Amino acid sequence: MMKAIHQLVPNLAYGDAISNESLVVRDMLRSWGYESEIYTDVCDEQVADARLPLAEHRKVSSRKNGIILHHSTGSEVSSYCKSLSDKKILIYHNITPPHFFHTFSDSIHEKLDHGRKQLKYLRASINIPVCDSDYNASELRSIGYENVRILPIAINFEKYRERPPCPFVLSRFDRELTNVLCVGRVAPNKKIEDALKVFACYQRINPHSRLIVVGKVNMFDRYHSFLFDLADELGVKNLHLTGHVSFEKLIAFYHVADVLLLMSEHEGFGVPLLEAMFYEIPIMAFKSSAVPETLGNAGILIIEKRFDRIAEMLNIVLSDEALHRRIIRVQKERLQDFSAEKIEQRLRRIIEDFERC
Amino acid sequence: MPVFEIRDKSIDEAELNRKIEENLKERQSDSLAALAAAPGAHSGLAPSVQDIEIRDGLGFLRKLARELPDYKVFGPFKTLRRFVKRQIAIDKAIVYFMHTVTNRLSFLADRLDSLDKRASTPRDTASEIDVPKAGGSVTSPTDPSAPRMRLDALAESPGEPAPAEAARRDTMREDQAHKDLLDYFHFKFNCVHGGTEKEIREKGLAYIEFLRNAGTVLDIGCGRGSFLELLRENGIHAVGIDSNRHMVDVCSRKALDVTCVDASDYLGQQDNNRFGGIFASHVIEHFQGDDLVRFVRLCYDKLAPGGCVILETPNPLSIFVLGGTFYLDVTHVRPVHPDFLKLLLDTIGFKDIRTLPVSPFPEEEKFQLLKGKDKLVQTLNANLEKMNKMFYSHYNYAVIALK
């Protein structure tokens, strides 16, 4: 048996899905008796205690140990990993296809491209490739990876239960207006503009409504100003771009939300879908990338972006109680497939195979 | 081409689509009116920042930037174009910033409105006794005699004039807002400094045996409910109380039987001999001397004969606790010495009183003893042990007693 399985992550950000997963995986590994740490040089101060600097990893690197490398955008960690003799699992979290960024940002474009090149270059040294969805797996297969395993993102819902929702958000965004929620980084692939268009139509049906977009915003980004232009043009009132929020605030937004609207055209997994299932919010999401896979039978999939019809559906979902209840029930059932026990079993199997490599 | 895909077959997709088309048709026939009405629906609100044109001065440049496609851009235009784009980004950032500011302002305005509303409703005595202006459009109250009655009531109680009453209500509201903030702060404090769920459960294991087969256990100041969960797992029926509503919310989400109430009030309302066990962890250090005595007496009254009381509190025999952790929580009133507590319980009538040291100080952080057998080393070690006991005794202790 290996003594230690450590994780290398490009960065450890507070509240970020990949970072949260690496923490969950670390705890599972430790509970099975492995030594396990998270190594990275880039981290937020809230989670700084949970990681060790990358330079420290050299000291523990050995042929007898294992590494789990989390890969998304191009990063030095991946290059560093290639040079090690440890056995390696690659968890591939998906790289946004660069074409989404063509019109908006050039530097990101390069970074993503670099990430893709690294993926090819890593191939020979990886013992077990793992993805969070079949959609991501197909991408790995297309560049020559074989026998790719699926491990859905592990979410620690205990944490969601324990922490209190921020009272200020609760009182500010109370239920006087219908709250349409959109969660995700404000970036072109998330197609916030489409959510805005749906919402513009919906606001004609129900003027007492607001659109809340929760996710990191880059103020000097062209995409961001484009969104505000569009909101002006469409005459949308009550648009709130919250920017990056603390965990307590995120929970609070789920508490006040009436519906989750996800028009994203590229989701590697779709953590907000699971969060909405957990908070019993009906989901309407565009059928693309990993979304249908994560949703399963739950929620309402949008297959064509006809905004007036989507807005009508939104209105029906919010007003038809029987339909609302039915959607919530199926979503709850679907959430069971992502329970901690099931994820743990899957990871256990992967680690057992890893031991045999 | 269908717009939706619903995989849950119990939902009638065709029916939904029919409804959507129907609604759309209805709305289109009414669209002119709807379009006219939609912007108007918000006309009562202050104009939002997005509506304010702040780019007038840049209009020409902006147009230029838009109309010069990439391949036509050369020479000085290129620099100009870059400048304009940057400028546009900056003014967008300003709009965004102002947007945030307006949001916050409108939040404050909302708060003020609701405060105003609240301030005016209970004070109807003050507002309604104003004589309506002649011909004024003051809507008459449903009961015309009501203002008169209020006037009479006022006349009967000259000791409490309206302004004093209003001031009292203001203070009450202020107190409530303050309590809300305090509650939230203490919840956060408890999350950060109150020990992890795991620690609380490990500590709780030592107490379980005293509470088994005892009947209903009351957990006073149950916090996030970790001990209640442990009791539930061990098949012991338990209820909890906490004065902090955030804690109670967390417990309710865990489906625990918890009430948000002050401990002494709650105990006072219970039947005597009701509980098989009473557990109060980190509660008694929050009481003034007299209140502590009353609290312990109430515990005794409400406990069934043979029932067990467990009171856990920081250990003042440890200088580390006294000088460090005890005053971390400013709501701690005073440390309670174990001998005092034992004597108090004894006086009130408890029996089989014993103390239990809880949460040991980590060995590796104590003064380390020296190795060697000569006399000097031994004397030094004996002194170090005394100092360890004084400085680094257990963090907490519990007194356990039976009725």
Q: Are A160 and A278 in contact (CB under 8 A)?
A: yes
Residue A61 near chain B (CB below 8 Å): no
The answer on A85 and A52 residing in a single domain is yes
The answer on A171 and A133 residing in a single domain is no
Residue B14 near chain A (CB below 8 Å): no
Nearest to B354 by CA among B319, B302, B311: B311
- Structural domains in chain B (count): 2
- Structural domains in chain A (count): 2
Place of tokens 């999401």: A285
In chain B, % of residues over pLDDT 70: 76
**pLDDT tens by residue, chain B, 403 residues:** 789 999 988 888 999 999 999 998 888 765 544 443 443 333 333 333 333 333 444 555 555 555 555 444 455 666 676 777 777 777 777 877 777 777 777 777 777 777 777 676 654 444 443 444 444 444 344 444 444 444 444 444 444 456 777 788 778 777 877 887 888 888 888 877 777 777 888 888 889 888 887 789 999 999 888 899 999 988 899 999 998 888 898 888 888 999 999 888 899 899 888 899 999 999 999 988 788 999 999 999 999 988 899 999 999 999 888 888 888 888 888 899 999 999 999 998 898 898 999 888 888 888 888 888 888 888 888 899 889 888 888 999 999 999 8
**Closest CA–CA distance from residue B395 to any residue of chain A (Å):** 24
Retrieve residue B387's tokens: 């100092």
The answer on A223 and A110 residing in a single domain is no
Residues 6+ apart with CB under 8 A from B198: none
The answer on B194 and B295 residing in a single domain is yes
Secondary structure class of A1 (helix, strand, coil): coil
Element (H, E) at A130: strand A128-131
Q: What residues of chain B lie within 8 A of the CB of A224, using their CB?
A: 92, 96
The answer on B213 and B73 residing in a single domain is no
Q: Of B92, B197, B250, which is closest to A228 when you measure between CB atoms?
A: B92
Angle of the A247-256 helix axis to the A271-278 helix axis, nearest 10:
60
Residue B69 near chain A (CB below 8 Å): no
Q: What residues of chain B lie within 8 A of the CB of A301, using their CB?
A: 4-7
pLDDT tens digits, B156-185:
444 445 677 778 877 877 787 788 788 888
- Could A312 and B95 be called an inter-chain contact, meaning their C-beta atoms sit closer than 8 Å? no
pLDDT tens digits, B344-372:
999 988 988 989 998 888 888 888 888 88
The answer on A247 and A218 residing in a single domain is yes
| Chain A residue closest in CA terms to B224 | A162
The answer on B346 and B207 residing in a single domain is yes
B window 72-131, beta carbon within 8 A of A: 88-90, 92-93, 95-97, 99, 103, 107, 110-111
Q: What residues of chain B lie within 8 A of the CB of A172, using their CB?
A: 107, 110
Q: Tell me which residue range forms the domain holding B75.
A: 50-101
The answer on A253 and A323 residing in a single domain is yes
The answer on A118 and A40 residing in a single domain is yes
DSSP B316: T
pLDDT at residue B156 in the model:
43
Domain boundary among B101, B118, B144: B101
Residues 6+ apart with CB under 8 A from B57: none
Provide the CATH number for the domain around residue A198. 3.40.50.2000
Burial of B213 (0-12, 13-18, 19+ CB in 10 A): exposed
Q: Of B24, B99, B103, which is closest to A312 when you measure between CB atoms?
A: B24
**Closest CA–CA distance from residue A10 to any residue of chain B (Å):** 28
Place of tokens 């509240």: A15
The answer on A210 and A149 residing in a single domain is no
| Chain B interface test: which of A236, A273, A280, A308 (most B C-beta within 10 Å) | A308
- Could B8 and A167 be called an inter-chain contact, meaning their C-beta atoms sit closer than 8 Å? no
- Could B6 and A312 be called an inter-chain contact, meaning their C-beta atoms sit closer than 8 Å? no
- Could A313 and B16 be called an inter-chain contact, meaning their C-beta atoms sit closer than 8 Å? yes
Residue B10 near chain A (CB below 8 Å): yes
pLDDT at residue B192 in the model:
77
Provide mean pLDDT across the span A315-331.
94
User: Is B182 contained in some domain?
Assistant: no
User: Is B179 contained in some domain?
Assistant: no
Residue B18 near chain A (CB below 8 Å): no
- Could B5 and A162 be called an inter-chain contact, meaning their C-beta atoms sit closer than 8 Å? no
Q: Are B289 and B344 in contact (CB under 8 A)?
A: no
Residue A164 near chain B (CB below 8 Å): yes
User: Is B269 contained in some domain?
Assistant: yes
Residues making up chain B, counted from first to last: 403
**Closest CA–CA distance from residue A16 to any residue of chain B (Å):** 21
In chain A, % of residues over pLDDT 70: 97
pLDDT at residue A47 in the model:
83
Provide the CATH number for the domain around residue B267. 3.40.50.150
| Chain A interface test: which of B1, B5, B8 (most A C-beta within 10 Å) | B8
Secondary structure class of A182 (helix, strand, coil): strand
The answer on A326 and A343 residing in a single domain is no
> pLDDT at residue A71 above 50?
yes
User: Is B171 contained in some domain?
Assistant: no
| Chain B residue closest in CA terms to A333 | B8
Q: What residues of chain A lie within 8 A of the CB of B184, using their CB?
A: 164, 167
- Could A304 and B2 be called an inter-chain contact, meaning their C-beta atoms sit closer than 8 Å? yes
| Chain A residue closest in CA terms to B190 | A163
pLDDT tens digits, A133-154:
999 999 999 989 999 999 999 8
The answer on A299 and A150 residing in a single domain is no
The answer on A183 and A92 residing in a single domain is no
Provide mean pLDDT across the span A276-288.
95
The answer on A236 and A89 residing in a single domain is no
- Could B246 and A164 be called an inter-chain contact, meaning their C-beta atoms sit closer than 8 Å? yes
The answer on A20 and A133 residing in a single domain is yes
The answer on B336 and B218 residing in a single domain is yes
Residue B7 near chain A (CB below 8 Å): yes
Nearest to B261 by CA among B279, B240, B284, B282: B240
Residues 6+ apart with CB under 8 A from A248: A163, A164, A165, A166
Residue A234 near chain B (CB below 8 Å): no
Domain boundary among B101, B131, B162: B101
The answer on B355 and B216 residing in a single domain is yes
User: Is B144 contained in some domain?
Assistant: no
Q: Of A162, A219, A298, which is closest to B93 when you measure between CB atoms?
A: A219
For residue B134, count other CB atoms closer than 10 A to its CB: 5
- In terms of DSSP bridges, do strands B396-402 and B303-314 run parallel, antiparallel, or are they unpaired? antiparallel
Q: How big is chain B by its Cα radius of gyration, in Å?
A: 34
| Chain A residue closest in CA terms to B192 | A163
Domain boundary among B101, B117, B143: B101
Residue B50 near chain A (CB below 8 Å): yes
The answer on B327 and B211 residing in a single domain is yes
Q: What residues of chain A lie within 8 A of the CB of B19, using their CB?
A: 312, 316
Q: Tell me which residue range forms the domain holding A119.
A: 5-155+339-356
User: Is B14 contained in some domain?
Assistant: no
A window 17-46, beta carbon within 8 A of B: none
The answer on B223 and B84 residing in a single domain is no
Q: Are A84 and A61 in contact (CB under 8 A)?
A: yes
pLDDT tens digits, A30-47:
999 999 999 998 888 878
